[in-house]
Amino acid sequence: MAPGVRLNPNRLGSRCESATSLAVPDIDWTAPWLAPWRTVGEPIARQIASGCPQAQALDQTGLAPVRFVPQADLPDGQAYEDFIFATGQVPTREGLHDFFNALCWMHFPLAKKRLNQLQAREIARAGVGQVRGPVRDAATVFDENALLIQPSNALWAALTEHRWRDAFLELRGDWAHTRLWAFGHAALEKAVQPYKSITVHLWRVPAEVPPEQVDVWLAQDLTPEKLARKPFSPLPMLGVPGWWPANADPAFYADASVFRPRRVPAPAEKPYDRAEIAPRS
């Protein structure tokens, strides 16, 4: 593929491309967002670094409800999600993107299976075109970029309203009691080489959901109706207290190019509000 040319992820058999030239051996397993994944992921990463084919190293763990197979097993002309649904096998390339995708299958097997079912159902209903429908679009955003969060009501309000100073400074103490679960494998891939503007899509977990039931709850919460509404809220992930040393300085959050104010939709202009096209009396 020519430099700068990106695959259309809606085309049959196509895949999201890698966001970085780094590889599995470059992962820093001390990164706080990887803490829940380290016990499972680090030994697999060592196998891959020692020369074991990635699909083989991932598959032999037996920790996922699917098998991981080489990318070459995906037939020409068949959509990736449809192949997974039909065979229970995940075509897997070498590299970070598919590595983190596989780890997500291991940590959230029910939610990943639900997302695949939704994608396959939409493909069966509408086919694979140049434009995804709202459900497939939102499911893809979730799969690639979601971060689950279980915050206080005050913190959630501040985050969704983009009141960044309140969220990260005034309510900084709330973060000690806020649970976070990484999910989106594309976001995790980017975070192997962290930069300030990496932005994830928050999905709120209710306070009453116990940590060990998050996967069960999420698989039930991922409904076509909810996804179509796209109830995401953006979060520059390195703003999370404790996730990046520089954010100990309040000035870190003053960068409006990253911590952007919430955009308020402009009211629709009625045609007759403009004098030049007002009807004659």
Q: What is the pLDDT of residues 4-24, one digit of tens each?
A: 333 334 344 445 666 677 999
User: Does residue 135 sit in the same domain as residue 163?
Assistant: no
**Lowest-confidence region among 2-6, 118-122, 141-145, 251-255:** 2-6
Q: Is the pLDDT assigned to residue 2 strictly greater than 50?
A: no
**What pLDDT does residue 11 have?**
41
User: Does residue 248 sit in the same domain as residue 161?
Assistant: yes
Structural domain including 130 reads 24-141
Q: How many CA atoms lie within 13 A of 102 on its CB side?
A: 31
d(CA 164, CA 55): 41
pTM of the entire predicted model: 0.87
Q: Where residue 262 falls among pLDDT bands split at 50, 70, 90?
A: confident
CB 247 within 8 A of CB 239: yes
User: How does DSSP classify residue 266?
Assistant: P
User: Does residue 167 sit in the same domain as residue 203?
Assistant: yes
In angstroms and rounded to an integer, the radius of gyration of the C-alpha atoms of the chain is 21
Count how many domains the chain has: 2
Q: Where residue 131 falls among pLDDT bands split at 50, 70, 90?
A: low
Q: Is the pLDDT assigned to residue 3 strictly greater than 60?
A: no
Last residue of a domain, one of 106, 141, 176: 141
Query: Mean of the pLDDT values across residues 148-171?
Result: 98
Quick one: residue 257, left, alpha or beta (phi over 0 = left, psi -120 to 50 = alpha)?
alpha
**What pLDDT does residue 270 have?**
57
**What pLDDT does residue 12 have?**
40
Quick: pLDDT tens for 184-225: 999 999 999 999 999 999 999 999 999 999 999 999 999 999
User: Does residue 114 sit in the same domain as residue 152?
Assistant: no
Please name the amino acid found at residue 168.
F
Is residue 259 in some structural domain? no
* Short-list 153, 138, 155, 214, CA closest to 181: 214
User: Does residue 126 sit in the same domain as residue 168?
Assistant: no
Query: Mean of the pLDDT values across residues 237-262?
Result: 97
Last residue of a domain, one of 115, 141, 167: 141
Last residue of a domain, one of 125, 141, 157: 141
Residues 6+ apart with CB under 8 A from 105: 64, 65, 66, 90, 112
**What pLDDT does residue 9 have?**
40
